[in-house]
Amino acid sequence: MKMFDLDQGIADQLTEVSLNSAIQVRCGNSNAFMVTASTLIPLLQAFEMSGVYISASRGAAEVIQGFEAIGVDVSHIQFIDLVSSGILGGTTVPYSNVHFVDSPIMLESVLLRTLYILKTTDNERNFIFLDSVNSLAIYNEDRMLAEYLHTFINTFRQQEVLTVILNVPDQTPPLVLSNLDLYCTDLIDRGQVVIH
């Protein structure tokens, strides 16, 4: 069952990037899942990539169920769930591809867990999908988050792992936003018009 049309423009734009690219994907509140699906589906199906999905905005189980509802197999994605540990019983999920980090404030743990997953995968073509910078900004101080994105993006670019960073720009502090613009190599803009 498909509840929306995928954005073919995103798939076209993805053909232009290389494995050591870092893409900022801007979306709004209302189109976040459509933009996410339009980005991930080509990566999984057309480019036959595996990946790590860092879930800071919703529990991983909810994200997986969202993809299952539109008939997308996400078994090649390992999920790092930063939300559910803070919810009583939230870590009891029926999926073996979900890992948990205690809190979105444990930024270094997220990086190390991602590196660990990449070390255990056999696939040579991998992506990291960070959902989302604005969610991380709820918990983390601006300077720390900007510093983290700097480390995060450079670490994976160096390892030739495609980095995709989802962001709702009008919910992201200006310092973080400007740093994200600086570190990312590509921009897919499906966000709302923002005037700061």
The residue ranges that bind other proteins (CB under 8 A) are 102-103, 105-109, 111-113, 115-116, 119-120, 139-141, 143-144, 147-148, 151, 155
Q: Least Å distance between CB 93 and other proteins?
A: 20
For other proteins, the closer CB: 141 or 160: 141
For other proteins, the closer CB: 85 or 192: 85
- Signed CA dihedral, 26, 172, 57, 48: sign only: positive
Q: Least Å distance between CB 140 and other proteins?
A: 8
Q: Least Å distance between CB 55 and other proteins?
A: 18
Q: Least Å distance between CB 177 and other proteins?
A: 17
What distances in angstroms separate CA 83 from CA 5, 31, 80, 108, 129, one per listed residue?
28, 21, 9, 16, 16
For other proteins, the closer CB: 29 or 154: 154
For other proteins, the closer CB: 72 or 175: 175
Alpha-carbon gap, residue 118 to 74, rounded angstroms:
16
Alpha-carbon gap, residue 158 to 160, rounded angstroms:
5
Alpha-carbon gap, residue 73 to 75, rounded angstroms:
6
Does residue 28 sit in helix, strand or coil? Answer: coil
For other proteins, the closer CB: 111 or 187: 111
Q: Least Å distance between CB 63 and other proteins?
A: 23
Q: Across the chain, which distance is largest between two alpha carbons, in Å? A: 44
